[in-house]
Amino acid sequence: MSITLNASFLFMQPTNCPSCNKPVPFENININTGFGKCDNCHSFFRLEQVLPPSASPSAPLQRLEVFLPFGLEILKLTNELNLYFSWRKSISVFLVLFALIWNGVLAIFVAAALFTGEYIIFAFISIHLLVAIIIDYYLIASMVNTSTISIRSNEITVVHEPLPWINRNKTFDARDITQLYSETYEMGKQNNNPVYAFRVMMQLKDGKTTKLLSGLKNAEQALFIEQETEKFLRLKDRSMPNELPRY
């Protein structure tokens, strides 16, 4: 598809992010796809949001094909599509090191309580023990769990197994889904710096949105799930606010 874009405008005028209003370097602007990326707030935006009409694309932009990314597997059957996301590929090295140090320090207090008979120590470290149990369970789940998205013409199921998780298994009526899109979100903080992840969202016929899968570590994983699900359900890809572009 041919695209007309006044690139000279981008060189002459500074481009600011529409979300945080911080300057966006020109190398973060993809003229071919019509998207930009802000290093400050990590959001993606369409060039139409920051350019005047005379500099905007004169035709709809065609998104690029996303190939199977690392950490995902796909199984295509006649009447079913299965996508597998291995949690093992997304384990945080920082969290593993933190758990080793945390558990090591707690082991000293536990050993002291057992050898001295001063069981009152357990009362003082009870909260710390609870934190250790939560972190250890998360790490074990991250090593063995897989999220499976099964897509059929009438329903979509999301199953996390073998260990139970706070994100319960879900079933959606595929006939209620009108569009899928991928976005980035802040999943937490590390050393007071935001940690971002990616998720796949679904828009329903009633206008509401719901999450299909979150916790993805890179944009390609989310975009591939979105792309293949829309293909199987024969949904025409439409532009959605704040969605991730396919560079």
| 151-200 pLDDT tens trace | 999 999 999 999 988 878 899 999 999 999 999 888 777 777 777 889 99
d(CA 33, CA 43): 15
Q: Are 44 and 37 in contact (CB under 8 A)?
A: yes
Provide the terminal-to-terminal Cα distance of the chain, rounded to the nearest Å.
Answer: 15
d(CA 130, CA 164): 18
Mean pLDDT of 28-39: 68
Confidence class of residue 49 from pLDDT cuts 50, 70 and 90?
low
Q: Average per-residue pLDDT in the chain? A: 82
Residues forming a β-bridge with 150: 82, 157
Mean pLDDT of 57-71: 71
Position with higher pLDDT, 244 vs 117: 117
Tell me what pLDDT residue 205 has: 93
